[in-house]
Structure 1
């Protein structure tokens, strides 16, 4: 992983993230109930009264979602990237390069994904297997 990817907070091993998330859901920390509690009760026990913490970054599943987040942040008076840094995924030039400010994103090679998907269909001797197509961060001005 490049230093730039690490700086952007990119975690390459999605399976490990999911494992941690699922393990936490199945085994809540000691003293925590496994069933959800009403939000008000959770706030009273979890922290002092006051406004909820404000995120300083948003990682969206796609560039279109990140673009919408960028608009919503602006509508709520948040400054990008000073207050919050949205990051998208896909590197769709029609979106990432046209937002204001231009959207920082993670590039995935969709043509290579297509080649790797179709190749086993034409080569019947190849077994279908899971593959990981490399991604790379594309730093623009939103983060």
Structure 2
């Protein structure tokens, strides 16, 4: 958490929006994402408030395109996410962790999935991309 104070501040501000269990699992998801990037030997730079704002805007706009539908289609949600594979894996993790006491309908709520996609996007945007070899 110390490595990404802006991101965890963002999550802390969301604590009132979610049940305690949901919020705890969102924080755990952020930590798992960080660890996943570390294990992939990808250095994640500090995530700034600007990155959080930009990613949030993009994700919210993408999810708003689904609001016209009466029923939330999970396949469409995955398809519009920033990283469909990672999104599906983190969503499955949340589903398994939260299954104990939260109805499936609540797990499908837009807000939870929006935050998952924002977390993924923030980490992706903050990846340090090393300079390629210099042309001689």
Taking structure 2 as the reference length, the TM-score comes to 0.26
More RCO (CA 8 Å, sep 6+): 2
Taking structure 1 as the reference length, the TM-score comes to 0.25
Bigger strand fraction: 1
Question: Rg: which structure is higher?
Answer: 1
Bigger helix fraction: 2
